[in-house]
Structure 1
């Protein structure tokens, strides 16, 4: 005996929608609670994406808020992160940037060794926090640990 098509469709919809909804809630609640809000534009892209950054001891993770992935969209090694000269938004950037926000180019390497470049748009206080985090990289993080003998 076969199941009615409504039951099969219901099960399929539940198997697809529940994980997507859980990922969306995770992004909007958990990630935003312990992160810094930013606008991100990767090199070669025209549009800005709303997102969040989270700092750890060894890396910075970028989360696009419109994404439904559980993990970070981009993760950059702290030792490789370089921030460029800040500038004021111009032209169409004024439509997405809040008053007083700055645009800062960045580059770094992801865990696979690929170079990731782009721009961040964030408030001066948030930029100060990011710069302090980058500059506070400890010597143990810069130099690999030697095995104990």
Structure 2
């Protein structure tokens, strides 16, 4: 009987330590990715697919960077240069196209040269993206439709 109790305590202790490690890693990864720059939750969908992938976008000095929501990678999965990024008018996500973690989000059709994709952003995040796009340094060729 005492051996079963000790085994249970070891299992519970191990699960608690694992949960703390996962939470700490997630927090530290997010802090490292942000590095003092604006960071927000968004969805990404490539052209021709129906599946949204949740992630974080960071508004850098000259590029928009998209990071996966989960995982431990500190490098962006996608990176779009500000001067090549074309944003179209947002469309409200409704029905089966909506994302539960992004209530009231809008789909923003985008292109980066030859590649087309959609971003799903909530109202304030879309406003931040549009402002970031329009506030490029003088001399940059910015495409805002």
**How far 1:69 moved relative to its partner?**
3.0
1:113-132 mapped onto 2 (5 Å cutoff): 115-132=114-131
Match of 2:83 in 1: 79
Match of 1:101 in 2: 105
Q: Does 2:66 match 1:62?
A: yes
Distance 1:123 1:53, change over 3 A: same
Match of 2:32 in 1: 30
Match of 1:91 in 2: 95
Match of 2:19 in 1: none
**How far 1:126 moved relative to its partner?**
0.9
Is the 1:79–1:141 Cα contact (8 Å) retained in structure 2? yes
Q: Does 2:45 match 1:46?
A: no
CA offsets, 1:25-67, max 9 Å, x none?
4645533685111111111222111101111221111111134
CA RMSD of aligned residues (A): 2.5
- The 2-side partners of 1:32 and 1:96 are apart by 24
Is the 2:98–2:105 Cα contact (8 Å) retained in structure 1? no
Match of 1:139 in 2: 138
Provide structure 2 residue ranges, at least 5 long, that are not aligned to the other structure.
1-21
**How far 1:134 moved relative to its partner?**
0.3
TM-score normalised by the chain length of structure 2: 0.67
Distance 1:119 1:97, change over 3 A: farther
Is the 2:33–2:74 Cα contact (8 Å) retained in structure 1? no
Match of 2:18 in 1: none
Count of matched residue pairs: 116
